[in-house]
């Protein structure tokens, strides 16, 4: 079975968000033809979008998967649905959000599945947990993660917790 390395962003800000993120990270090993090989700590971050919502708990996971990008995204959506995710608004509060950030070297502009995820380049709550797992990662297009981190420092309110992390 040929596998690729994929990266998943995990976030929540409703219904005990740190517990939601921890459960989602543990559940990644249950995805078909997929194994979670490392997770960051869980980070607290202020919300994107409407400011009248709770802070987020965020983490990043590294997977080895035989699933193609579309199949992996579908499996992630099933995990969100099982957690009670309701897709009511963009950037609104949510029980669980699983974003496929990277899938090997795949690049796609398909509106249903953009890879790399457009937020990889600009979101401190993605870049810093990603660097915690693999600081020497080269992002698609040959961009070193370390250089991107220099462009996107940790913003106010982004802080790692001692929860989570294994690798």
Q: What is the b/e burial string over 73-93, where b = at least 16 CB atoms within 10 angstroms of the residue's CB?
A: bebbeebbeebebeeeeeeeb
- The catalytic position among 44, 62, 97, 124 is 97
Told to judge if 85 belongs to the known catalytic residues of this protein, a careful annotator would answer yes
- The catalytic position among 41, 44, 62, 85 is 85
Phi and psi at residue 65, to the nearest 5°: -140, 145
Six token digits for residue 132: 């915690």
Return the DSSP state at 75.
H
**Alpha-carbon gap, residue 125 to 35, rounded angstroms:** 23
Distances (CA, A) of 71 to 30, 96, 111: 14, 19, 16
Told to judge if 94 belongs to the known catalytic residues of this protein, a careful annotator would answer yes
- The catalytic position among 94, 110, 134, 151 is 94
- The catalytic position among 99, 109, 124, 134 is 99
Q: Which residues are catalytic?
A: 85, 94, 97, 99
């Amino acid at each position: 079975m040929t596998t690729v390395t994929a990266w998943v962003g995990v976030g929540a800000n409703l219904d005990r968000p740190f517990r939601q993120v921890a459960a989602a990270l543990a559940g990644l090993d249950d995805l078909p033809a997929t194994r979670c090989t490392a997770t960051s700590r869980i980070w607290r971050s202020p919300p994107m979008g409407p400011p009248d919502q709770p802070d987020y708990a965020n983490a990043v996971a590294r997977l080895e998967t035989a699933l193609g990008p579309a199949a992996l995204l579908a499996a992630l959506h099933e995990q969100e649905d099982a957690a009670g995710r309701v897709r009511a608004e963009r950037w609104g509060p949510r029980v669980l959000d699983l974003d496929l950030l990277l899938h090997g070297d795949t690049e796609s502009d398909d509106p249903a599945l953009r890879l790399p995820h457009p937020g990889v380049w600009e979101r401190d709550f993605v870049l810093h947990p990603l660097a915690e797992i693999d600081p020497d990662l080269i992002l698609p297009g040959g961009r070193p993660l370390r250089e991107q981190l220099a462009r996107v420092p940790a913003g106010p309110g982004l802080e790692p917790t001692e929860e989570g992390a294994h690798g």
